[in-house]
Amino acid sequence: MIAIIDYGAGNMKSLQFALNRKGMECCVTTEKKQILNSTAMILPGVGAFQDAMTTLKQKDLINTIKDETTKGKPLLGICLGMQLFYETSEEDGEWEGFGLLKGKVSRINYTVKVPHIGWNTLHMQRSSSICQNIPNNAFVYYVHSYAVKEYAYNSLVASTAYGGTIPAIVQQDHIIGMQFHPEKSGNVGLQLLANFGEMIS
C-alpha cells in the first residue's frame, strides 16, 4: 500500500486514479499508523511551500516521513512535494524544508513567463530505473513558479529548459522527485508511476 500524504495540496483523486490504473494500491492519509505500515510514500504537490510545511508540522508528520525515509522506504515527491525535499525555499520569504536533499528552491527566471504551465520535455541526464521505457525528450505536464536552483548534480536524472535548466526528475537512492505532474502527463506519466511501483514491489 502506497501512502499518499494529505497536507491539503489537492489533486489527490487524479493521482489515485493514475496509480490504480497501473494496479498500485494506495490510500490518502494523514494517519501515522498507515504511513508506518505503507510500502512507500508520496508527497503530492499543489500550493505554497510555507503552507505545506506548516500543515505537515501541525499534523506532526515531518519526523515520521523523515524517519521512514531514513529507514529506506521509497519516497516520491511531485511538484511542490519534490521541492519540500530540499533545505530551503525562497517562495515568499525563506523557509526550511525537509533537508533530505541538499539545495535551494528559487523563483523561475524572470526572462520567461511565470508560472511555467504546459507541456515540456524531459532531457535525460543519466540512466535510472525510474526512467525505464521513457524516451529522451518525452513531454510531460508542468505547473510551477518555483524550481530547484541549487542541487547536487549527481542527483539529476532529467531536466527541462525554461528560463534556464530546471531539474525535472531527481533521485538519491530511494528518494525521487518529479517537478511535473505524472498523473497529468498521459502515457509517459503512467509509465513513470509504474516504474516507481517496480521499485517497491
User: Model pTM?
Assistant: 0.96
Kindly state the cell numbers that stand for 171. Answer: 533521485
Alpha-carbon distances, residue 178 vs 37, 57, 59, 93, 116 (angstroms): 24, 23, 24, 23, 15
Q: What are the pLDDT digits (tens) for 54-101?
A: 999 999 999 999 999 999 999 999 999 999 999 999 999 999 999 999
Question: If you ran DSSP here, which 8-state letter would residue 109 be given?
Answer: P
Catalytic residues: 79, 181, 183
pLDDT band at 148 (very low <50, low <70, confident <90, very high): very high
pLDDT(10) > 70: no
Per the prediction, the chain carries an average pLDDT of 95
Q: 159: part of which helix (H) or strand (E)?
A: strand 156-161
Distance of CA 15 to the CA centre of its chain: 12
Kind of pairing, strands 146-151 and 103-107? antiparallel
What is the rounded CA–CA span in Å between residue 143 and residue 10? 14
Q: What are the pLDDT digits (tens) for 150-185?
A: 999 999 999 999 999 999 999 999 999 999 999 999
Q: What are the pLDDT digits (tens) for 58-68?
A: 999 999 999 99
Higher pLDDT, 66 or 11: 66
What is the rounded CA–CA span in Å between residue 199 and residue 201? 6
Alpha-carbon distances, residue 38 vs 27, 55, 61, 74 (angstroms): 9, 21, 14, 10
